[in-house]
Structures are given as C-alpha cells and as structure tokens.
Amino acid sequence: MEKEVALFEVLVGFACNNNCRFCSIDFEKRRFNKSTAEIKQDILRAKQSGAEILGFTGGEPTIRKDIFELVEFAKKQGFRTVRIQTNGRMFASKEFTKRIIEAGANYFKFTINGHKAKIHDFLTQVPGSFEQTITGLKNVKALGRTVEVNILINKQNYKFLPQMVKFFIDLGISQFTLIFPSYIGNALVYKDDVVVTLSEAVPYVKEAIDIIEDYELDKAVTVSIPPCFMQGYEKYATTELYPMRTKIVGPKFEANLDDKMKEEKRKAPQCEKCKYGLLCRGVRYDYVDLFGFDEIKPVPGKKIRSLKDI
C-alpha cells in the first residue's frame, strides 16, 4: 500500500550555478536533468498521490528556462503550497522574483551557509553568491512570501550557528532547518574543508535552538542528528523520530523519504540499550565510514514505543 504523502518533491535535475563544497552530488551528476514533459508527469503523479505540497528541488531548479512554465503548471493542479528549494541567487533579480511568485510559487527554502560572505562564498565556490542570495531573500520577503532557511552544518560554519540564526532572524526569518550533511559527493572530495563530527557541532546547534526558542519562532527542525545527541532538545530531532510523509522523484530514481533515510542509516550495537532505540533510525552510513560508532551514547530509560511518549 502506498504511504500517505504530504510533500511530493520533484528533483528536476542536478545542474546548479554553485559548486558547493558540502554538496552530496558530485560534479559528474550535473548532466542528469529531467525534461519539461517528464517533470509535468511527476507533477500530475504528485496530485494523484494526494499531496498538498509540491516541491521543486535540485540541483538548482531556478536556473531552468522552463521554471515559470513548471510552476504555473503546478499551480493549476491546485496544490496548497508550491515550494521552491533554492540557493537564492536568481532571486537577486526583482523581475525574476515577481514573475515566479505570479506563476504560483508561494513558499521558499533558501540554503544559506554563512552570515558573512567570506564563509558562504568559500563554501559555494562562487564569489558574490552571498550578496546575491541575501538580496534574493529580501526580495521574496518584500513580496510577502514565506522564506525558510536551510543551514548545512559544516567545519566552516558550525561555531557560528547561533550568530547565523540571529542574523537571519534580524532579516525576518522565523523558520529554520539545521542539516547535518551527507559525506558523499563533493562533501567527500572536500572533506578537509567541511567535515565536522556530531560531538563538535551539536553544542552549537543547541545554542542556535535556544535563540529560536527565545524569539518564540514558528519552527526549528534538525536533520540527521540522532536524539541521543539532542538530550533536552529531542523534539527537534524531527527527521529521526517522526514520519516524514515525503516522496521524492528525480532523474533515474524515486523514493519515500522515510524508507530512503532508513536504508541510509546504521545503528550501533549500543543503540539496543537506548530509550529511543525502537524509533531512531541511527546515523548515516557515510558518517559511520568516517568516524565509526564511538560517539554514540545510549540514553538510559524505558523504551519509547510511540511518539506520544516523547
């Protein structure tokens, strides 16, 4: 039986106008991109699935010449939300921003990885990208649309997570996703520049969440941080404990995100002793390849069998 889907993400292809050091896609995959007709078929499948949210992701979806046509086609299918996940650079153009919103996009996830150009531009490997992205964020906000900020946690920015969150709050952002990355693709090629351990990063994640809580903001989500690292903050270990109800389709693949994450995670022997052992998916295989399981410290207590017990 097909799982209930709330979000249907269409990965339009891997082409991008950045070459981020932390990206899980290697450069060779950039040539795999879907046609307009293929993406429209994906959009129709999304509608048939009952999803209320249609997401465009990549790569970078906004560099496609057919992006307005695709967004307009999605809007006509009646989705409650048409979401764009983006590095934000194309939105530096007010004309582009206005046009894509008029076509039907109403929710935007900007991936921004520093509060200063020095950090962000080093990671994207595109000088000037920070200025373009921040201008783009301001342009979308000026037209009254929701912007959520994704932060890919890495060696260059993890100590600045609290400052980054405060920087974005001052720009009017109230929703954040803090993502511990996959160490594959570019992230493995540039591992000396980006790799950080969970033990190093999580204290700063918690500081950032404290700021978000202090401002009583809408949402904070962490990705790929197991709850054993998030004691006192377990409710933010969203993707590790809660069903995702997301389907993603891309060039040459499709997957339910819950299943995909489960397949990509590994559990340590000591996880059997953890109170979250029945619900938690573990840590990513690529992280285990680099660091093993030594950091995993099971949380003592009665086994939690339902999310209601958290």
Structure token pair of residue 251: 């060039």
186 falls within a domain: yes
**Is residue 273 a part of any domain in this protein?**
no
- From the list 305, 58, 295, 91, the residue with the least C-alpha distance to 196 is 295
Write out the two tokens for 208.
């950032």
Asked whether the predicted pLDDT for residue 1 surpasses 70, the reply is no
Supply the CATH number for residue 139's domain: 3.20.20.70
Q: Which two tokens stand for residue 174?
A: 């109230």
Domain presence at residue 227: yes
* Closest to 106 measured CA to CA, from 53, 146, 72: 146
Domain of 181, in residue numbers: 7-263
Whether 77 is covered by a domain: the verdict is yes
State the alpha helices, DSSP H only, in the chain: 36-49, 67-76, 94-103, 117-124, 129-142, 161-170, 186-189, 191-194, 198-214, 238-241, 257-264, 285-291
Which pLDDT score, from 0 to 100, does residue 240 have?
81
What radius of gyration, in Å, describes the C-alpha atoms of the chain? Answer: 19
- Looking at the domain assignment, is residue 117 inside a domain? yes
The strand pair at 53-57 and 146-152 is best described as: unpaired
Among 58-62, 153-157, 302-306, whose mean pLDDT is lowest? 302-306
Q: Is pLDDT at 208 greater than 90 in this prediction? A: yes
* Residue 308 covered by a domain: no
The answer to whether residue 241 scores a pLDDT higher than 90 is: no
- Looking at residue 3, its pLDDT comes to 57
DSSP label at 270? G
Q: How many CA atoms lie within 13 Å of 222's alpha carbon, on the beta-carbon side?
A: 26
Closest CA to 279 of 222, 223, 227, 244: 227
Across residues 27-38, what is the average pLDDT? 84
DSSP conformation class of 229: G
Read off the pLDDT band of 218 (50, 70, 90).
low
Whether 65 is covered by a domain: the verdict is yes
| DSSP run (H or E) holding 149 | strand 146-152
Number of domains in the chain: 1
In a domain, 295, yes or no: no
pTM of the model: 0.94
